[in-house]
Amino acid sequence: MTTTIHQLAIIEKGAEIGHNVEIGPYAVIGSQVKIAENTIIAPHCVIDGNTEIGANCFIGAYSSLGLPPQDIDYKGEDTKLIIGNKVNIREYCSINKGTVKGGGQTIIGDNCYLMSYTHIGHDCRLYEEVVIANNTHLAGHVTIHRKANISSTFLAHQHIQVGELAIVSALSGSRKSIPPFVVAIGRPVRIARSVNLVGLERAGFSRETIKAIREAYNLIKKNETKIALAQIAEQVKDFPELQKIIDFYNNSPRGVIPFATVEDDLS
């Protein structure tokens, strides 16, 4: 097979299009865009700015990638959007490039899946294998760690994080970070379960490690955070995954969501 560009697509001079790329009608590809091999660009997409798209990706119809950040301080600087390999971006998604003050890059890791109407704001970082369901919106500077699973219509405040293998319920929102391995539910979102059991089992975590994670969160729930983290650190030698919990709590400047109580409305 060879690259197929529909006659109604607009490809600006300077764009780099890889082997076996397919570009549909009415797509607009800017002059700084680089698209690697075997990627499909559906009709009516707009891809502009200093944007790199990896191999074997799918970009759904009407998506807008690499456009200027929605930041009043942006003055036209040459910042970037980097999309990894095997990324699936469905219809009507929008992803802005970065800002100078945010490091200059918005990054989507390999094997991410973004469902329709998702918005990824400037300077966000998605690590590998993140799944985000329809109509979710991430403000600027949000970090989503590896294999996190975000349900539909989640709203994320600037500068928060969602930890590795966390799962976040639909119709929720957060102004604080969501730690790794948990199930988070509600409005505002709370830790409903300290272990995303299905996700951890699918990721190959042993029963002993899952038990250690559950016990670590029980310590955090029952004790002052610094004391709990010191106690958890004593178990890291046997269960290295616990270090991710410690690092997350120590590197979440906006704070971490609390555990649910009987008074919380998690409906």
Tokens of 41: 């660009």
Q: How far is CA 1 from CA 11, 116, 163, in A?
A: 20, 29, 40
Q: Please write the tens of the pLDDT for every residue from 182-233.
A: 999 998 899 999 999 999 999 999 999 999 999 999 999 999 999 999 999 9
**What type of residue is 250?**
N
- Do 105 and 81 touch, CB atoms closer than 8 A? yes
* pLDDT over 80 (residue 265): no
- Residue 153 Rama label (left phi>0; alpha psi -120 to 50; beta): left
Tokens of 222: 């029952």
Which residues, at least 6 apart from 252, have a Cβ–Cβ distance to it below 8 Å? 160, 161, 176, 177, 179
* pLDDT over 60 (residue 251): yes
Over residues 240-250, the mean pLDDT reads 97
Please give the domain boundaries of the chain with CATH numbers for all domains.
4-144 (2.160.10.10)
Active-site residue, from 49, 84, 109, 140: 140
Q: Which of 216, 218, 221, 223 is nearest to 245 (CA)?
A: 216
Over residues 146-169, the mean pLDDT reads 97
pTM: 0.94
Active-site residue, from 44, 49, 121, 122: 122
Parallel/antiparallel/unpaired status of strands 105-108 and 190-193:
unpaired
d(CA 194, CA 190): 10
Active-site residue, from 123, 141, 159, 163: 123
For 256, which DSSP code?
B
Q: Please write the tens of the pLDDT for every residue from 103-112.
A: 999 999 999 9
Active site residue 48: no
Q: How far is CA 83 from the centre of its chain?
A: 11
Counting residues of the chain whose pLDDT is more than 70, the rounded percentage is 97
* pLDDT over 80 (residue 16): yes
Active site residue 123: yes
Active site residue 122: yes
What pLDDT sits at residue 187? 84
